[in-house]
């Protein structure tokens, strides 16, 4: 842009021909199209540094059970917000609440978390609606220190990273991810890791990645046990109680019956084996000691079950399995593939009905104890 000029006797260059030097302001000059102004530079700075929400930030301590309620901010033009909070006293249960609204009046979405005493929390979340505010409810002890800060960001992902040493609990905010996991199995091929539903919980079945047996029982973890005993079935034609396995209340473990093998030692005889759940027990019988099959594996966990031979029962309970093991010294697997699961506070009874009196038999039971 050319500017005509003339010089006065002092050699100074006037801007209006008056002979008086005048300051030139950048604001008064026309700028080329697309050039930055003070306003656009301020916006760029805000994008880089973030915008502090004065209506949702506070350092004023709260009394017992007192509530801090922020003001609804329009977050339409922001990609995410970062929140940091510190209190020297614990919040109420679910005392830190993020509220979202479509009109700045009614709360449409609300998400809560806890704050423990003298342990700061940090969040990075994306907007769920047009307006956002924070509500904080203090716990049973008055605060002497409280710092709450909210900063809005126009760009970024809002992802939080944490050290691997940090513990994870239900108060942590997390992304919801759906996908398929695969792992290499001993055969050298890859297989998808499946999910299992256990009661009201869901868990990954990692046995598909590292099987130790055909049933997936993890012997290497010290959670598989066995009992091999000789049992004399006294009376023919009668369901003689042979084995009683009890999973006590509060054991915290499910008992997966991996395999049950039976063997009749007398030739030309047979035994009808039956399995019952929750018999009425009069006498437990003779206590037996199971063997942990992680042999030589160091410090293995102790079994949670109690197991007995030749118990006395007044009622067998609910029958769910029956099998005739043949004659002439046959050894038979009558239960396998971990199809039977015994939960805490339930008992398993195995009976044998021989074709001859005092029938000797060998019983081998394998089970896995899992959470």
Domain boundaries, the chain: 51-153, 182-211, 219-370
Amino acid 211: pLDDT: 36
Domains 51-153 and 219-370 equal at CATH topology level: yes
- 222 near 334, Cβ under 8 Å? no
* Confidence at residue 28, expressed as pLDDT on a 0 to 100 scale: 57
> What was the pLDDT predicted at 11?
53
What does the pLDDT read at residue 262? 84
Backbone angles phi, psi at 163, to 5 degrees: -60, 150
Whole-number pLDDT of residue 212: 40
Structural domain 51-153, CATH architecture: Sandwich (2.60)
Tokens representing residue 320 in the block? 């769910």
pLDDT at 321: 83
pLDDT given for residue 266 in this prediction: 72
pTM score, whole prediction: 0.46
Lookup: tokens for 194: 């499946």
From the list 95, 149, 150, the residue with the least C-alpha distance to 117 is 95
- Over the chain (371 residues), the average pLDDT of each successive run of 10 is 48 56 59 63 69 95 97 94 95 95 95 92 90 96 96 78 67 70 67 58 47 52 88 93 95 89 78 92 95 83 94 94 68 64 94 90 89 81
Query: Which residues, 6 or more positions from 195, have their beta carbon under 8 angstroms from its beta carbon?
Result: 202, 203, 204, 205
- What pLDDT score does 106 carry? 96
Q: How far apart are CA 55 and CA 34, in angstroms?
A: 34
Predicted local confidence at residue 3, as pLDDT: 45
| Element holding 359 (H helix, E strand) | strand 359-370
Give the per-residue pLDDT at 361. Answer: 87
Assign a CATH topology to domain 219-370. Jelly Rolls (2.60.120)
């Amino acid at each position: 842009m050319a500017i005509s000029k003339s010089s006065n006797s002092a050699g100074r260059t006037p801007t209006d021909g008056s002979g008086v030097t005048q300051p030139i302001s950048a604001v008064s000059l026309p700028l080329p199209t697309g050039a930055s102004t003070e306003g656009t530079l301020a916006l760029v700075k805000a994008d880089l540094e973030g915008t502090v929400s004065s209506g949702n930030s506070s350092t004023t301590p709260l009394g017992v059970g007192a509530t801090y309620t922020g003001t609804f901010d329009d977050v339409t033009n922001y990609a995410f917000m970062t929140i940091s909070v510190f209190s020297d006293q614990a919040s109420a249960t679910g005392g830190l609440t993020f509220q979202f609204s479509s009109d700045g009046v009614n709360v449409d979405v609300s998400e809560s978390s806890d704050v423990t005493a003298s342990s700061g929390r940090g969040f990075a979340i994306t907007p769920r609606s047009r307006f956002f505010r924070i509500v904080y409810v203090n716990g049973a002890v008055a605060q002497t220190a409280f710092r709450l800060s909210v900063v809005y960001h126009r760009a970024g992902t809002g992802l939080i990273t944490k050290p691997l040493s940090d513990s994870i609990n239900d108060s942590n905010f997390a992304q919801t991810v759906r996908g398929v996991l695969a792992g290499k199995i001993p055969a050298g091929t890859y297989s998808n890791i499946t999910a299992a539903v256990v009661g009201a919980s869901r868990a990954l079945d990692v046995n598909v990645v590292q099987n130790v047996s055909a049933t997936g029982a993890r012997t290497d973890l010290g959670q598989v046990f066995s009992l091999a005993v000789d049992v004399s079935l006294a009376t023919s034609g009668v369901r003689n109680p042979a084995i009683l396995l009890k999973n006590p209340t509060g054991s915290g473990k499910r008992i997966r019956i991996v395999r049950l093998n039976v063997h009749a030692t007398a030739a030309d005889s047979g035994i009808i084996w039956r399995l019952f759940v929750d018999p009425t027990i009069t006498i437990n019988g003779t206590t037996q000691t199971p063997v942990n099959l992680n042999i030589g594996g160091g410090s293995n966990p102790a079994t949670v079950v109690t197991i007995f031979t030749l118990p006395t029962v007044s009622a067998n309970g609910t029958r769910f399995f029956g099998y005739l093991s043949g004659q002439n010294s046959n050894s038979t697997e009558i239960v396998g593939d971990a199809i039977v699961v015994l939960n805490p506070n339930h008992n398993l009874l195995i009976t044998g009905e021989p074709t001859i009196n005092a029938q000797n038999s060998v019983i081998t039971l394998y089970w896995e104890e899992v959470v």
